[in-house]
């Protein structure tokens, strides 16, 4: 057995308390052997964690990773205008190579900011899987199905691709890749396609993931056309079941929150995207009170504009207070729980907890900086003060992806150069 020890640090435990401990990892099995005292002695490799905080790797519950290529390309617009005027025309020019390079760039950013697992909805998913495998990350991937602008044949082809991706990529990268069936949203895919294809996804045994209730424009048309709220509409089509997860859930009423809680369908909260696109404020504290599993996601880099879960955690805490008018809502413990266990549970990965037997996915944050001084409460620091650049080591599945800010699984320089070139050529094609 090859072992890795992370020594001398403060460790964030599953009950969201911090204690002084070492972590011993079985690298072959990718599993945590022990969290305790003096575990260093005969490990094959040691990562120093003195004056550092060891946390579970952060879990980004909803993303479109390859959209890093469009970071900063179209800002300051509402969701509909942004998608229709800028994003979709540019995405129409994306090549499989672009998606690969954009995903590698996003993976690099995630490794550098302590994220070890994510859920992703995009297209050309085999190229995404290649980049994930190379980067050493863990992911739940799916093909985003949109039928609004297609004829029947194209729509069914797109839905079939969603099924194929879910079936064929599941288990790739030594099991680090799993899949889901991903209709884009309740308003961008026709009801007849949901009725035909959701049962087939159920037969594959994969979860279903989609954007829901992100803006009022995603609520009103469903109420007008079908006479029920979107979550009831989704439930009627078999899309609100245990293990399913929706992105956003901004405009949810009490009946919908109750439905999600009862079904065991999770919500991935994307606060930065919701603020930037002026979509609204999700009722996160009410969802938590009702027993809904809530995770946190960045959404794509073009509506955020970064993939740092630490930024997202702070945004979640801040907007949670603003939404309720109560400064005790969505406290530090809740956001730290949501960015680790909450997101992991939402996307159905058995990660997010540093304990014996758990997958060895973790991040180590350097605490020796002005903005993390003094150290009254490290959970508070994680939620409110820590930044992506504080992350010094990242480990996924027992493998060291970054050591002392040096990324091992990817050539940082090459990834950035190739992604920049792909992004420039992409925008050129889209504009000419």
Ligand X SMILES: N[C@@H](CCSC[C@H]1O[C@@H](n2cnc3c(=O)[nH]cnc32)[C@H](O)[C@@H]1O)C(=O)O
Residue 101 touching ligand X (CB under 6 A): no
H and E: helices and strands count for the chain: 16, 18
Show the binding pattern over residues 213-232: x = contacts Zn ion (CB under 5 A), - = does not. --------------------
Q: Using an 8 Å Cβ cutoff, are 181 and 164 in contact?
A: no
Q: What mask of x and - would describe binding to ligand X in positions 249 to 288, judged by CB under 6 A?
A: ------------------------x---------------
Contact between 300 and ligand X per CB under 6 A: yes
How many C-alpha atoms does 396 have within 13 Å on its Cβ side? Answer: 32
Is the sign of the CA dihedral 199, 202, 204, 209 positive or negative? positive
The residues in 143-172 that bind ligand X, with binding defined as CB under 6 A, are 144-146, 158
* Cβ 218 to ligand X shortest distance, Å: 9
121 binds ligand X (CB under 6 A): yes
Q: From the CB of 143, what's the least distance to ligand X, in Å? A: 7
Stretch that binds ligand X, among 52-60, 79-87, 285-293, 369-377 (CB under 6 A): 79-87
As annotated, the binding site for substrate includes 91, 184, 214, 299
| From 53-61, 128-136, 139-147, 252-260, span contacting ligand X (CB under 6 A) | 139-147
57 and 114 Cβ atoms separated by less than 8 Å: yes
- Give φ, ψ of 394 to 5 degrees: -135, 130
Site size for Zn ion (CB under 5 A): 1
Out of Zn ion, ligand X, none, what residue 314 binds, judged by CB under 5 to 8 A for its kind, is none
267's tokens: 């919500």
Q: Are 186 and 151 in contact (CB under 8 A)?
A: no
Q: Which is nearer to ligand X, 109 or 337 (by Cβ)?
A: 109
Q: Confirm or reject binding of residue 87 to ligand X (CB under 6 A).
A: yes
Query: What does 251 bind: ligand X, Zn ion, none (CB cut-off 5 to 8 Å by kind)?
Result: none
In the bound state with ligand X, the residue whose beta carbon lies nearer, of 40 and 281, is 281
| Pairing mode of beta strands 362-366, 391-396 | antiparallel
Out of Zn ion, ligand X, none, what residue 122 binds, judged by CB under 5 to 8 A for its kind, is: ligand X
Residue 393's binding partner out of ligand X, Zn ion, none, with CB under 5 to 8 Å set by partner kind: none
Cβ of residue 165: shortest distance to ligand X, in angstroms?
A: 11
What's the rounded Cα separation, in Å, for the pair 177 and 168?
Answer: 11
Q: How far is CA 140 from the centre of its chain?
A: 9
Stretch touching Zn ion by CB under 5 A, among 161-169, 217-225, 291-299, 312-320: 291-299
Q: What number of other Cβ atoms are within 10 A of residue 401's Cβ?
A: 25
The order of strands in the sheet holding 294-296 is: 209-212, 245-248, 266-269, 294-296
Q: How many CB atoms lie within 10 A of CB 191?
A: 15
Preceding amide of 374 cis, omega within 30? yes
Contact partner, 123, from ligand X, Zn ion, none, Cβ < 5-8 Å per class: ligand X
Asked if 246 touches ligand X (CB under 6 A), the answer is no
Torsion over CA: 366, 370, 374, 378 (sign): negative
- Choose the stretch contacting ligand X; rule: CB under 6 A; options: 116-124, 198-206, 251-259, 316-324: 116-124
Between 62 and 393, name the residue whose CB sits nearer to Zn ion.
Answer: 62
Q: Is the dihedral of CA 258, 350, 302, 143 positive or negative?
A: negative
The nearer residue to Zn ion, 296 or 378, going by C-beta atoms, is: 296
C-beta closer to ligand X: residue 214 or 256: 214
Return the CA Rg of the chain.
21
The β-bridge relationship of strands 45-48 and 52-56 is unpaired
Where do we find the tokens 């672009």? 98
**Which of 22, 109, 214, 312 touches ligand X (CB under 6 A)?**
214
| Angstrom distance (rounded) from CA 312 to CA 339 | 8
Residues of span 16-75 touching ligand X by CB under 6 A? 64
Query: Which member of 158, 299, 323, 361 binds Zn ion (CB under 5 A)?
Result: 299
Show the beta-strand stretches assigned E in 174-283.
177-179, 182-183, 209-212, 245-248, 266-269
Site residues for Zn ion per CB under 5 A: 299
Site residues for ligand X per CB under 6 A: 64, 79, 83, 87, 91, 121-123, 144-146, 158, 184, 211, 214, 273, 299-300, 303
């Amino acid at each position: 057995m090859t072992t890795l020890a992370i020594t001398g640090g403060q460790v964030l435990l599953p009950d969201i308390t911090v204690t002084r401990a070492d972590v011993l990892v079985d690298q072959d099995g990718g599993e945590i052997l022990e969290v305790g005292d003096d575990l260093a002695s005969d490990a094959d490799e040691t990562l120093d964690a003195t004056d550092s905080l060891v946390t579970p790797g952060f879990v980004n519950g909803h993303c479109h990773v390859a959209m890093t290529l469009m970071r900063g390309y179209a800002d300051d617009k509402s969701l509909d205008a942004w998608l229709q005027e800028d994003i979709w025309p540019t995405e129409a020019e994306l090549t499989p190579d672009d998606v690969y390079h954009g995903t590698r760039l996003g993976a690099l950013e995630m490794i550098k900011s302590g994220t070890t697992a994510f859920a992703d909805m995009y297209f050309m998913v085999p190229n995404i899987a290649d980049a994930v495998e190379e980067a050493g990350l863990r992911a739940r991937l799916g093909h985003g199905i949109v039928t609004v602008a297609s004829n029947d044949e194209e729509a069914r082809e797109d839905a079939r691709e969603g099924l194929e991706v879910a079936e064929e990529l599941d288990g790739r990268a030594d099991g680090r890749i799993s899949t889901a069936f991903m209709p884009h949203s309740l308003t961008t895919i026709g009801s007849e396609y949901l009725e035909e294809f959701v049962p087939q996804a159920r037969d594959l045994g994969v979860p279903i993931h989609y954007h829901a209730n992100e803006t009022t424009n995603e609520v009103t048309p469903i109420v007008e056309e079908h006479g029920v709220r979107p979550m009831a509409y989704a439930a009627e089509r078999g899309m609100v079941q245990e293990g399913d997860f929706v992105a956003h859930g901004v405009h949810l009423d009490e009946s919908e929150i109750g439905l999600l809680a009862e079904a065991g369908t999770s919500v991935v909260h994307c606060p930065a995207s919701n603020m930037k696109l002026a979509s609204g404020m999700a009722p996160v504290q009410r969802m938590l009170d009702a027993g809904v599993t809530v995770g946190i996601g960045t959404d794509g880099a073009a509506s955020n504009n970064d993939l740092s879960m630490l930024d997202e955690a702070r945004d979640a805490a801040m907007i949670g207070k603003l939404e309720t008018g109560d400064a005790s809502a969505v406290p530090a413990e809740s956001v730290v729980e949501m960015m680790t266990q909450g997101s992991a549970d939402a996307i159905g990965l058995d990660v997010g907890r540093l304990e014996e037997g758990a997958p060895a996915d973790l991040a180590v944050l350097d605490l020796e900086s002005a903005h993390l001084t003094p150290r009254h409460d490290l959970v508070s620091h994680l939620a409110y003060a820590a930044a992506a650049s504080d992350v010094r080591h990242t480990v996924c599945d027992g493998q060291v992806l970054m050591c002392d800010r040096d990324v091992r699984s990817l050539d940082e320089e090459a990834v950035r150069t190739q992604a920049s070139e792909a992004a420039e050529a992409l925008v050129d094609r889209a504009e000419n």
